[in-house]
Amino acid sequence: MNKAGFVALVGRPNAGKSTLMNWILGEKIALVSQKANATRKRSNAIVMHNDDQIIFVDTPGLHQAEKLLNQYMLEEALKAIGDCDLVVYLAPASDKTIHYEKFLEINADKRKHIIVLSKIDQISQADLLKKIGEYNRFSDHFLALIPMSVNKNVGKKDLLDTIVKHLDESPYLYDPENITTEMVRDIYKEFIREAIFDNISDEIPYESDVIIDKIDEDAPVEHIRATIIVEKDSQKGIIIGKGGAAIKRIGQNAREKIERLASKPVYLELFVSVKKGWTTDKKFLSDLGYEW
């Protein structure tokens, strides 16, 4: 009998969750950014490891909730922990163990978990050994501790083998042909958000979102129309940029990512619209797909 199950990827903002998920998938799906708190919604990715099926659930980073949108993100992460068969807690190797201790407090119903020490390429071998020693003080709480580096291609097989070892026997939960349960729409939206993060500085990326208005997949050149939502008129000006330069860059970056996934030419049309106070407007957040 095969094994199958849901695995939540949790960790502090910027721990490297989305990067890890993309690396495992070999396709670019989740949003990766150097800025913290870029992942807003949970997204699923299905990975076949030999004959077993792992459904990874990427979550927003665990952090202090202040704004309504941040509260939503924290709740999403906690829900994912509760819903999954197994949890992978990602900790950058340079992080102090105090953050893990906080996770143990949040993880009140003591879900089984594996610790991944991420970004080990950023610390020395001696520091890594020291860090492993520090985590081993909590060895009663976790199933395994796996050092990992996406940049150095270390730890992938070890992680997948360990996950499968701890999953129960089960029929497949999804068609193994699918690489993701995310709708194409949501993936394209994330690509555009990622391009905003890469091209626009300061607070604006956090105060903006993207609505995919239309996708015409049947045309030889896929036609996508999307609207970037911002909080203020001044932000609209910055997103558009001088003579439209900024929005052109955003559009170009996002289009290249979409074309890579769609494997065909794409015509991406972008608009910008001002919606004051949207990050605190519960109804509007729900219209954008952030369901409670």
Nearer to ligand GTP, 70 or 107 (CB): 70
Does the protein bind ligand GTP through residue 235 (CB under 6 A)? Answer: no
11 makes contact with ligand GTP (CB under 6 A): yes
- Candidate segments 6-14, 47-55, 163-171, 222-230, binder of ligand GTP by CB under 6 A: 6-14
Residue 225 phi, psi dihedral angles, 5° rounding: -120, 125
Q: Judged by CB, which is closer to ligand GTP: 35, or 276? A: 35
Question: In terms of CB distance, is 198 or 259 closer to ligand GTP?
Answer: 198
State which residue, 150 or 228, has the beta carbon closest to ligand GTP. Answer: 150
Q: Which of 10, 32, 46, 116 binds ligand GTP (CB under 6 A)?
A: 32
* Least distance between ligand GTP and beta carbon 85 (Å): 21
Q: Is 87 in the site for ligand GTP (CB under 6 A)?
A: no
Backbone phi, psi, residue 281, to 5°: -100, 105
Residues 33, 43, 44, 53: which binds ligand GTP (CB under 6 A)?
Answer: 33
Check binding of 147 to ligand GTP (CB under 6 A): no
Site for ligand GTP in 99-118 (CB under 6 A): 118
Nearer to ligand GTP among residue 29 and residue 230 (C-beta): 29
Cα–Cα distance, 39 to 80 (Å, whole number): 14
CA distances from 190 to 18, 136, 172 (A): 11, 37, 27
Q: Which of residues 55-84 bind ligand GTP (CB under 6 A)?
A: 60-61
Q: How far apart, in whole angstroms, are the C-alpha atoms of residue 23 and residue 10?
A: 16
CB of 92 to ligand GTP, least distance (A): 8
Told to check if 257 binds ligand GTP by CB under 6 A, we report: no
Nearest approach, Cβ of residue 93 and ligand GTP (Å): 9
Residue 119 near ligand GTP by CB under 6 A: yes
Spatial distance between the Cα atoms of 282 and 97, rounded to a whole number of angstroms: 35
| Count of residues that interact with ligand GTP, criterion CB under 6 A | 24
Question: What's the Rg (C-alpha) of the chain?
Answer: 20
Binding site for ligand GTP (CB under 6 A): 11, 13-19, 32-34, 36-39, 60-61, 118-119, 121-122, 149-151
